[in-house]
Structure formats: structure tokens, C-alpha cells
Amino acid sequence: MQRNLQRAVSFPEALLDSCVSAWRSQPLGERVARWAAFFLERQQTQYLFGLKPGGYVAESLLVQDFRQDCVLFSYRCSELARAASARDALLWALATRFATAALDSVVSSTGGVNYDHRAHLDYSLDIVRSGHWGRDVTCDVGLAVNDSVGTSRYPAGSFAYIPTAQLRLERLADGDLLYFVFDEKNPRGKKMRQEYGLVIGHQGIVQRLGNTVTVIHAAQSDLSGEYRGNRIVRVPLATYLRRVDSFKGIIVTRLEASPRPPLATSGG
């Protein structure tokens, strides 16, 4: 708790608790979107891949509010949205990011967490399949198709996604978690699939602004005419999908109120 609530890595506990209290009565999806907007509006968060020096994985942290990649951004917004306090959000983090693991096998004597533990899901498609980050609603928000190519890790036909042209934007809801699927016809997408077995290359969170469906995400690179990278940004989802040609569509999960998975305190 102390390690992940210190001011060097976390927004002030009192500020987080006040937001949790103020938004408690809102539907869960709206709370997720509000937390995404919280990080966006403060503009204090830089993009940093978790495995790089100073990143949350490299530093064995659950929290790094000022240096996030797209996965940590989705983790953090969903945890704060489901939590009763800033401290409770850390328990949500342990119970979902390290589901089924005993605490004494994940947390060291100095308070660091072990992202090499087998319970941690390193691939975003496994995150989707776990159910800990919501129900897979991909087939509900567009005309989904089975991926016909697959990767070395995921056989062809083993998962569904919505091609960009077949997405029904009006069916997306505040707080939906988006997973962008690599296009094997794009050089970068092909490389990621063939060399690393990756299906999903990015994550983001839906926020509806009037009739416009936007995605808030931790962006590494600029999108000319839309935003500068290395920060949390917001852009119309249709624009993002049209402009970023390394992705061919999305997978979507939707958080619903549910009990927190139990924490095992001991491996014995």
C-alpha cells in the first residue's frame, strides 16, 4: 500500500478518494470513462512502456499515474472505477492482474509485485478471455467475424473481432474497453503477428461526447492533425481506426458490477 500510494507514483490519495465518493452513484461504465477523462484532463501522465526503465513493470509497481502505457491505463481506470477507495483499488489490482495467485508469491517483502508470475496475463487476448475486465461484447456492437489468419499463439478462427467497416458505433457505451487487432496485411501488423504471436497491439477506453464516440488512450506516437503523442489523448474512434492502418478492427469488453475475485493470502 505504502509503495503504491506514495506521491512519486500516485495522485494524492485524498484526491482519488474524493472522486471515488463523488462518482459512486453512477453506472460502472460511466465511472470508467470518468477516470479516463480524469487522467486526460490533468495532462500529467506521459507514455512509457511498462517494461522500460521507470515503467510500472520494471519498477514492480501496481500504480504509476505519471508514466503509463495503454495496458496500465486500462488497468488503472477500471480498478479505480470498481473500488471503494484508492487503497481498495490496489486490492482490485492484485485480485485481477494476479488472479488465482497467493499474495506471498506475488508481493515481495519490500512491496514490489512480480509481473513474471505465471498468474499475470502478458497477452491482451488472454486478458479479454479471462473475464476479469468485463464481458466480451464484441458480437453485440458490430458484425463480428472470426480471424482467418491467427498467429503462432492463437490459431486461425479461434477468436472474433469487428472489422472497422462493420462496427456499430452507436452500440458502444461509456467505459467500454477496446482492444485493437493487428492487420496482417500491414507490414507492422504482419511482423507483430508472425514474430511475436501478438493479436492485439493497443488498448483504449470509450467516452461518448454527444453523438461522437471517442477513444481515450495512452498514445506513444503523434497522429498528425489530431494529437501529439507521449501522453493521454482523446480522438474520435472512427478517425483513429481510419488513420491508423496497422489495425483492422477491434475487440470490446464491458465491465459489469461483480464481486472482486478472492485474494489468497498464502501459497501454502
Predicted pLDDT at 257: 87
Predicted pLDDT at 40: 98
Taking each helix axis from N to C terminus, what angle separates 13-23 and 28-42, rounded to the nearest 10 degrees? 140
Q: Is 175 left (phi over 0), alpha (psi -120 to 50) or beta?
A: left
pLDDT in tens, 207-252: 999 999 999 999 999 999 999 999 999 999 999 999 999 999 999 9
Predicted pLDDT at 267: 58
Show the cell assigned to 152: 503462432
The 10 Å Cβ neighbour count of residue 60 is: 16
Dmax (CA) for the chain in angstroms is 56
Predicted pLDDT at 13: 98
Strands 247-254, 231-236: pairing is unpaired
For residue 123, count CB atoms less than 10 angstroms from its CB and return exposed for 0-12, middle for 13-18, buried for 19 or more: middle
Predicted pLDDT at 266: 62
Strand segments, DSSP code E, in the chain are: 46-47, 67-68, 135-136, 145-146, 160-163, 177-182, 200-209, 212-219, 231-236, 247-254
Give the residue ranges of the chain where pLDDT is below 70.
264-268
Amino acid at 97: R
Amino acid at 187: P
For residue 211, count CB atoms less than 10 angstroms from its CB and return exposed for 0-12, middle for 13-18, buried for 19 or more: exposed
Predicted pLDDT at 260: 81
pTM of the predicted structure, to 2 decimals: 0.96
Structural domains of the chain, with CATH: 2-120 (1.10.3670.10), 128-254 (2.30.260)
SS3 content of the chain, % helix, strand, coil (to 5): 35, 20, 45
H helix and E strand count, the chain: 9, 10
Predicted pLDDT at 261: 79
